[in-house]
């Protein structure tokens, strides 16, 4: 398990001891401009073993963070064995020095407005190193959002029409009940009620999986943990076309079932 913290990556590697207990151990490394620099191995003493690995890992995280806090801004030490565990990092009871008191609210630097951010560098930082990747990411997210809303509306319309009401179907109430449900739950419900054809449900599920890969992607160790540049739908024309084709067809089918026309392109003057 890898945990980002103040520019470091903490890799948990607690070691099982001969007596069956676990010794808390964490490997530190930094990533700068895609280059991984190994840091020290923070290791507990033999008197600080834990019965369960989860407890040892939790202690290893505390030790690693304490070491980072205590050595923030200093060069990353790497010994001959790649290990370095100062006394203050060997115990979770260690406490970093108190942070300087924050300045008054009026003195704090305000975040830059969105339109003044350096978006080109930000895209580069997350692995979107070409306009093509940016466009593909944008389009995948747009069609996912559209499908999410269409599934909700189709399902709400069906449920509202099946409820008995003297004032007619209350789609707004049905929307309020359905919208908070996770998309996979809404897809299953729509399939069970017969308002989502199997092909449409399958396509929406696939697009949702792509969206989850974008949100939860784990890049290779040589890249920072927030890098999404090597996801197949962003790098492969075939994978991108397959995803968009299924998404657009599913959106067409859902809008047809709602008797809503697909948006027409703007007329040229």
- In this predicted model, what pLDDT tens digit does every residue of 83-94 receive, in sequence order? 444 444 444 443
Domain range list for the chain: 2-98, 121-257
Mean pLDDT for the chain overall: 78
pLDDT tens digits for range 93-110: 433 334 444 444 444 555
User: Contact at 8 Å (CB) between 24 and 16?
Assistant: no
pLDDT of 146 strictly over 90: yes
- What is the tens place of the pLDDT at every residue in 150-196? 999 888 888 888 766 545 567 788 888 888 888 889 899 889 988 89
CA dist 91 and 62 (Å) reads 8
Residue 207 pLDDT: 93
- What value does the mean pLDDT take over residues 127-151? 91
Q: pLDDT digits over 26-52, tens only?
A: 988 876 666 667 778 889 988 899 988
**What is the per-residue pLDDT for 90?**
42
Q: Give CA torsion, residues 173, 174, 178, 180, to 10 deg.
A: -10
66 closest CA partner among 38, 92, 40: 92
- Report pLDDT for 119: 76
Query: Do residues 53 and 59 lie in contact, with contact meaning Cβ atoms separated by under 8 Å?
Result: no
What's this model's pTM, rounded to 2 decimal places?
0.54
């Amino acid at each position: 398990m890898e945990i980002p913290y103040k520019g470091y990556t903490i890799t948990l590697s607690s070691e099982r001891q001969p007596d069956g207990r676990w010794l808390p151990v964490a490997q530190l490394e930094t990533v700068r401009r895609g280059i991984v620099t190994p840091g020290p191995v923070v290791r507990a003493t033999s008197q600080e073993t834990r019965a369960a690995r989860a407890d040892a890992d939790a202690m290893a995280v505390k030790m690693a963070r304490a070491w980072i806090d205590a050595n923030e801004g200093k060069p990353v030490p790497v010994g001959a064995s790649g290990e370095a565990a100062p006394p203050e990092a060997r115990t979770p009871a260690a406490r970093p020095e108190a942070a300087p008191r924050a300045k008054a609210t009026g003195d704090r630097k305000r975040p830059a407005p969105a339109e003044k951010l350096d978006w080109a560098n930000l895209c580069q930082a997350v692995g979107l190193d070409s306009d093509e990747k940016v466009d593909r990411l944008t389009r995948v997210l747009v069609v996912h959002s559209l499908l999410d809303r269409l599934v909700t509306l189709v399902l709400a319309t069906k449920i509202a029409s099946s409820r008995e009401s003297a004032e007619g179907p209350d789609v707004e109430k049905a929307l309020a009940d359905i919208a908070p449900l996770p998309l996979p739950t809404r897809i299953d419900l729509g399939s069970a009620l017969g308002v989502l054809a199997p092909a449409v449900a399958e396509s929406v599920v696939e697009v949702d999986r792509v969206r989850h890969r974008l949100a939860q992607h784990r890049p290779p160790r040589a890249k920072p943990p927030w890098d999404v540049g090597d996801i197949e739908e962003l790098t492969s024309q075939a994978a991108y076309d397959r995803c968009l084709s299924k998404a657009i067809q599913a959106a067409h089918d859902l809008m047809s079932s709602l008797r809503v026309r697909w948006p027409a392109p703007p007329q040229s003057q």
